[in-house]
Amino acid sequence: MNREYPTSLGASDADSITLLGHDLAQDLMGKVGFGELALWMVTLKRPTPSQVRVFEAVLVALADHGFTPTAIAARLTYLSAPDSLQGAMAAGLLGGGSRYLGVTEDAGQFLASVLAAADTMPTDDVGFDELALTAVRSAREAKKFVPGLGHPVHKVRDPRTPVLIAIAEEEGLRGPHLRLFEAIGRVHPQVLGRTLPLNGAGTCGAVLADLGLPLGLLRGFALLARAAGLLGQIAEEQRTPIASDIYMAVDRNAAYVNPPSE
């Protein structure tokens, strides 16, 4: 018996390369954008220009946030192993876990689960507000955070949020996940007793979920965006190195604490 391994992505023979059932060289290169292709490879369905615009807006929103722990980790790894650029990029992506990059996926999953549990899909803001109120109350009772609420720096308003909503609206892609997220933004103060901003990463999760992307892969788009950002960080490290200074600032300020005596 020969095993076979099915795929609809890339394949090659002597004369041609196929990707997504198309001739890579003739049909895709120069005709399809990179973001468009990334979206297509995940959904297996050619995205519309509106979907591409919304999707790329999300990637642009998530690409780089300056000296994040992941950017610093990538730079330090590049300092240690400059011969292995892939290692520096991988090290940077490895910080894309629950705490920083995870919000995008957590928000998408949370919104999808609330929508899935709703008896009927709301059709107006009043309906979304009701659903949001129940969801925020349940989260509160379960002592859980609502993913996508609050931001350590943008304490009042995350500037990315209204822009993403506007772009989704312009492109006819402001769907139920995003509308529910907006509703959470309106109703949460009456439950939590204080007003938190809808953060950009959470909004990205809502938008990606409205694009129909697999919920278990939303973090992956944040990682793709971040891959571009890390490339920028490493390029800057090549031009204007700071990793060695960071290392020195830590190492030279080590305060030795003797372990408890035995």
Residues 69-98 touching a second copy, rule: CB under 8 A, are: 69-70, 72-73, 76-77, 79-91, 93-98
The distance of closest approach from Cβ of residue 147 to a second copy in the complex, given in angstroms and rounded to an integer, is 14
The conformation of residue 82, written as its DSSP 8-state character, comes to T
User: Between 47 and 176, whose beta carbon lies closer to a second copy?
Assistant: 47
Can you give the length of the chain in residues?
Answer: 262
* Chain CA centroid to CA 53, Å: 16
Alpha-carbon gap, residue 245 to 262, rounded angstroms: 36
Read off the tokens for 235.
Answer: 């390029």
Among the listed residues 129, 149, 160, 178, the single contact to a second copy using CB under 8 A: 160
User: Between 132 and 167, whose beta carbon lies closer to a second copy?
Assistant: 167
The distance of closest approach from Cβ of residue 192 to a second copy in the complex, given in angstroms and rounded to an integer, is 20
Answer yes or no whether residue 18 interacts with a second copy by CB under 8 A. Answer: yes
Interface with a second copy (CB under 8 A), residue total: 130
The distance of closest approach from Cβ of residue 130 to a second copy in the complex, given in angstroms and rounded to an integer, is 30
Residues 32-61 touching a second copy, rule: CB under 8 A, are: 32-35, 37-38, 41-46, 53, 56-57, 59-61
- Residue 198, SS3 per DSSP: strand
Residues 115-144 touching a second copy, rule: CB under 8 A, are: none
- Strand bridging mode 22-23 / 17-19: antiparallel
Q: What are phi and psi of 170, to 5 degrees?
A: -55, -35
Alpha-carbon gap, residue 28 to 123, rounded angstroms: 39
Contact characters 227-256, a second copy, x per CB under 8 A: xxx-xxxxxx-x-x-xx-xxx-xxx-xxxx
Which residue type sits at 226? R
Among the listed residues 23, 113, 172, 189, the single contact to a second copy using CB under 8 A: 23
Pick the stretch among 107-115, 121-129, 139-147, 210-218 that binds a second copy (CB under 8 A): 210-218
To 10 degrees, the CA torsion angle through 231, 41, 216, 69?
A: 0
The distance of closest approach from Cβ of residue 120 to a second copy in the complex, given in angstroms and rounded to an integer, is 28
Neighbouring C-beta atoms of residue 175, cutoff 10 Å: 16
Alpha-carbon gap, residue 166 to 204, rounded angstroms: 13
Pick the stretch among 64-72, 117-125, 132-140, 186-194 that binds a second copy (CB under 8 A): 64-72
Q: Which residues is 10 bridged to in the sheet? A: 19
Q: Look at residues 93, 40, 76, 46 and name the one whose alpha carbon lies nearest to residue 228.
A: 93
User: Between 134 and 145, whose beta carbon lies closer to a second copy?
Assistant: 145
The conformation of residue 149, written as its DSSP 8-state character, comes to B
Contact characters 177-196, a second copy, x per CB under 8 A: --------------------
Among the listed residues 116, 143, 156, 193, the single contact to a second copy using CB under 8 A: 156
